[in-house]
């Protein structure tokens, strides 16, 4: 009920309940909540990966660890338990792979390539769309579907020094994902160029989602970056990592990405690892 009140997606609630039932079957349905300690939870995680006899993918394992931490953390926060037994659980048995987020140097190369397309050349007329798309994704971290749903009046430029993008959802059940995201003032100039060139009548992007993917692919090729590095998902990570690097409050990053507190746990861990990898590579 708490998760539903928080507006979490039905699939998230179902997966959470399924994970808790699995814990219950392992520990014994009659086990008292207050009798469950850290060792019990560590034994359960070991059973998942080494004794259950059913494959446990990195994604499933990470979700089940998150379930434990959220569930027992909630019980502690609400005063049901005097301490949180999930605080010290060991979770190194299976590691979820890091996303292939573009490095800072890759982002700079991509921006330069998109800027060149915006300026045009003797062979090609100026095209603001690649730069508009790339900078929008880097500034907001929105998903592909969210980008495709933008209409021009979702962009509020009433205060030119503090423009914002309103991420809207038609489905009432997804209204909790709606959010207000800041844009950089200089982005409005690119938007004006784009609107003059394409004159959209409905949604901001007049092409298909597949075409937007091709635009990102073309930017990557022009910047001589590996194929796939400029996907929507990877740029979402790049946007979050940029905020992380700049010391933005973690909950602000979570809200910017439109993530629940449950989903944020895994995302936060990956951002921390990405930042550590970036620092290590800079020193090497």
Tens of pLDDT, residues 198-238: 999 899 999 999 999 999 999 999 999 998 999 999 999 99
Q: Report the distance separating Cα 89 and Cα 36, nearest Å.
A: 12
pLDDT above 80 for 188: yes
Tokens representing 57?
A: 């993918």
Q: Which two tokens stand for residue 67?
A: 């379930």
Residue 126 predicted with pLDDT over 90: yes
Backbone angles phi, psi at 180, to 5 degrees: -115, 120
The tokens describing 98, both together, are 């890091």
Name which residue leads in pLDDT, 253 or 10.
Answer: 253
Which residues are registered as beta bridge partners of 156?
164
Q: How confident is the model at residue 13 (pLDDT cuts 50, 70, 90)?
A: confident
Provide the Cα torsion 13, 18, 24, 25; round to 10°. Answer: 170
Segment of 63-67, 77-81, 100-104, 189-193 carrying the highest mean pLDDT:
189-193
**Both tokens assigned to 155:** 């962009």
Percent of the chain surpassing pLDDT 70: 97
**Whole-model pTM?**
0.71
Mean pLDDT of 165-188: 89
Q: How confident is the model at residue 24 (pLDDT cuts 50, 70, 90)?
A: very high
Judged by DSSP in three states, 164 sits in strand
pLDDT tens digits, 81-109 = 999 999 888 655 445 678 888 999 999 99
Q: How confident is the model at residue 30 (pLDDT cuts 50, 70, 90)?
A: confident
3-state secondary structure of 165: strand
* Range with the poorest average pLDDT among 95-99, 115-119, 149-153, 239-243: 95-99
Residue 115 has pLDDT above 90, yes or no: yes
pLDDT in tens, 225-274: 998 999 999 999 999 999 999 999 999 999 999 988 877 888 998 999 89
Q: Is pLDDT above 70 for 279?
A: yes
Helices (H), the chain: 2-5, 10-27, 38-46, 58-77, 104-119, 129-140, 144-148, 187-198, 209-222, 232-245, 250-257, 261-283
- Amino acid 166: pLDDT: 96
Q: Check pLDDT > 80 for residue 69.
A: yes
Residue 93 confidence (pLDDT): 45
Provide Rg for the chain, Cα atoms.
Answer: 22
Average pLDDT value for the chain: 90
């Amino acid at each position: 009920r708490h998760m539903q009140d928080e507006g979490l997606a039905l699939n998230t609630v179902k997966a959470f309940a399924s994970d808790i039932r699995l814990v219950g079957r392992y520990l014994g349905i009659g086990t008292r909540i207050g009798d469950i300690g850290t060792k019990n939870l560590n034994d359960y995680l070991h059973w998942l990966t080494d004794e259950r006899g059913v494959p446990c993918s990195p994604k499933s394992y990470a979700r089940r660890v998150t379930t434990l931490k959220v569930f027992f953390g909630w019980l502690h926060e609400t005063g049901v338990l005097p301490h949180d037994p999930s605080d010290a659980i060991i979770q190194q048995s299976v590691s979820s792979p890091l996303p292939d987020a573009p490095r800072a140097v890759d982002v700079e190369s991509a921006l330069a390539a998109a800027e060149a397309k915006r300026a045009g050349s003797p062979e090609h007329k100026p095209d603001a769309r690649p730069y508009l798309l790339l900078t929008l994704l880097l500034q907001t971290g929105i998903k592909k579907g969210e980008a495709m749903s933008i209409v021009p009046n979702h962009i509020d430029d009433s205060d030119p020094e503090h423009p914002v993008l309103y991420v809207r959802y038609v489905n009432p059940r997804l209204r909790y994902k709606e959010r207000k995201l800041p844009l950089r003032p200089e982005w409005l100039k690119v938007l004006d160029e784009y609107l003059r060139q394409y004159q959209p009548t409905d949604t901001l992007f007049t092409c298909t989602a597949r075409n937007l993917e091709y635009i990102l692919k073309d930017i990557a090729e022009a910047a001589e970056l590996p194929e796939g590095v400029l996907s929507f998902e990877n740029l979402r990570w790049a946007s979050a990592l940029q905020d992380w690097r700049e010391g933005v409050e973690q909950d602000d990053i979570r809200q910017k990405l439109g993530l629940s507190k449950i989903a944020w746990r895994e995302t936060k861990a990956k951002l921390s690892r990405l930042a550590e990898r970036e620092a290590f590579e800079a020193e090497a």
